[in-house]
Chains A and B, each alone.
Chain A
Amino acid sequence: MRASSVLKAAGPGRALPSKLVKASGVIVSLILTFVGLTAVTFTIGRVMPADPVLAIVGDRASQEVYDQVFLQLGLDKPIYVQYLKYLGQLLQGDLGTSIMTAQPVAEDILRFFPATMELATVATLLGVFVGIPMGVLAAVKQGRWPDHVVRVIGLIGYSAPIFWLGMVALLVFYARLDWVAGPGRLDVFYDGIVDPVSGILLLDAALAGEWDIFDNALDHLILPASILGTFALAYIARMTRSFMLDQLGQEYILTARVKGIPEWQVIWRHAFRNVLVQLITIIGLTYASLLEGSVLTETIFSWPGIGLYITKSLFNNDMNAVLGGTIVVGVCFVGINMLSDLLYKLVDPRVR
């Protein structure tokens, strides 16, 4: 920080190169992360004691057919050559073909990933807009009943197994009370009417003006998103509470009170601005981990998401699909981390 202010002091002409240096540093670290990610996933995929040829030809094929496919896949070449070839295709957006669906992996992912994104986004929003106020309330009323309530909810959300919560929720809210729709993203009746522009059903339905479908999609989304959101909420509320308690004990809070500022402003304008700085990382991490796709939630709610896709591919020995899915998830993770770093710098003047 000192160094950058010295640079600024040296004149406006010096500011540009330092920014360029920073930007190129970010790009280099991105490239390194990407290469590392692909190398590790590729190697794991190839050294696994599973035969990709057998997965294609089946165990009754003749030796000639087997050898032919073996050569076609390029498996006779050293692993680094295979990797470089894979990398080359990857850069052109080619993730290979899935054995399970017999379609390009990239297309599969474009179909499955938006479903996960929809679920993860709604769950994270729920966690943010319910979890943060809960955490703040718990911190402000520390040791009194609102604090205890929030802590119990946090404990349940954090420790109750998500598959159990999911099944109980389906039983109660779908089977018994019939308040929400059941598993899947849409009722069969509505399937395939809306063009998948973004793949996010709520968005596509709204864009097409099909409000019936929007309602139905929301009906289906609400339960899995709440279940996943409970987890996000519990984590965010817990972290908000402890960050807030920490900030409320700081001396600048006493300063704010000495100035005669109303207590709600002391909490939200002074303490919370500082909490937000720390929360950004937490929210980013939560969102990224939800984007990986929650296999359990997606299984229980028959939600055609990326978690389900990768798991099914894994069971089918479909290495291209597993690799492609892992890389997409990894790229998302890196991207969100970068975004939260950027936001962090925007909110906290000390790290600019």
Chain B
Amino acid sequence: MMDAALLRVEELHVSYNTPTGLVQAVKGVSFELGREKLGIVGESGSGKSQTGRAILGLTAPGGEVRARRIEFEGTDLLHADRRTMRHIRGAGISMIMQDPKYSLNPVMTVGKQIEEAFLVHSKDSKREAYRRTLEMLRAVKIREPDRVYRAYPHEVSGGMGQRIMIAMMMIPEPSIIIADEPTSALDVTVQLQVLAVLDDMISERGMGLIFISHDLNLIASFCDRILIMYGGQVMEECNAAELHRARHPYTRGLLDCLPRLGGSQHELSVLRRDPAWLETRGETS
């Protein structure tokens, strides 16, 4: 699976110059992604979202990205010009965001927003874009695609909004999807539907997925491989199936904090963070 890496990230650093000093959000993250589902898990502020945005070159103003290498299908993203970058965004790498309530443009119809994602990377006609959009809406299991095409984002539910988002990001057929907490804003029952849709489309099209979440259980059951991040660094990398055998004290700590149904009802342990984890990793990099 790993022989044809789509994306190579080596020694990625993201830092922000703030009035109170330099904040290092990501400190030397390296990984490779093939046609697989890679989970990145970590607490708030561990740098997982920043990693996703840095790959797309969409770090917020004031942020600085350094890396030894960010390579996508042989293209060096660190030194790519704006045109190349724009072509890669959407058509090469795409991203699904947390809450469709904010990530869809409120004054544009759903259909126009999806069509736009297709047309910006294609020379096809508007008619073809319309046809593809309806097809895509059907593919994400939306029952009345004609009606939803003409609807505005405030007229659809959260789960539907997220499926629309998936349709929009998939329509230019990118090789990689970054899903940044795609189900955190949804109800538990809807979460599963959205994940099922995402899973189907990823495996059908043989894409690579970077799934960013703070939900260890979700990631373990959904992804093939997991990166555990803490303080802007990768603490541990393991196969999802072998998560329970993880050895790093931070991962163990996270696992111990999860309540289990039917388990013994002793008090849950409290996560202890050891600053030494960051220092040792920092020296080796």
Contacts and interface: CB of A to CB of B under 8 A. Distances in A.
B17 interface: no
B56 A258 contact: yes
Interface string B72-107: 000000000000001111110011010100111111
Interface stretch (A63-71, A157-165, A270-278, A318-326): A270-278
Interface stretch (B115-123, B127-135, B225-233, B260-268): B115-123
Contact of B58 (A1, A254, A262, A348): A254
A252 B104 contact: yes
A258 B99 contact: no
A37 B114 CA distance: 49
Contacts of B109: 349
Given A258-B90, A260-B90, A260-B120, A350 B95 contact: no
Report, as a range, how many residues of chain B touch the other chain: 20 to 34
Contacts of B103: 251-252, 254-255
A5 interface: yes
B141 to A, nearest CB: 21
Nearest to A349: B152
Nearest to A1: B154
B146 interface: no
A255 B86 contact: no
Report, as a range, how many residues of chain A touch the other chain: 20 to 34
Contacts of A5: 155
Those 10 A-B pairs whose CB atoms lie nearest each other, nearest first: A260-B90, A260-B89, A251-B102, A349-B152, A259-B90, A252-B105, A259-B117, A251-B103, A258-B95, A260-B86
28 contacts: A250-B102, A251-B97, A251-B102, A254-B103, A255-B97, A255-B103, A257-B89, A258-B89, A258-B90, A258-B94, A259-B90, A259-B94, A259-B120, A260-B88, A260-B89, A260-B90, A260-B120, A260-B172, A261-B86, A273-B105, A274-B107, A347-B107, A349-B107, A349-B109, A349-B152, A350-B106, A350-B107, A350-B152
Interface of A: 1, 5, 250-252, 254-262, 270, 273-274, 277, 347-350
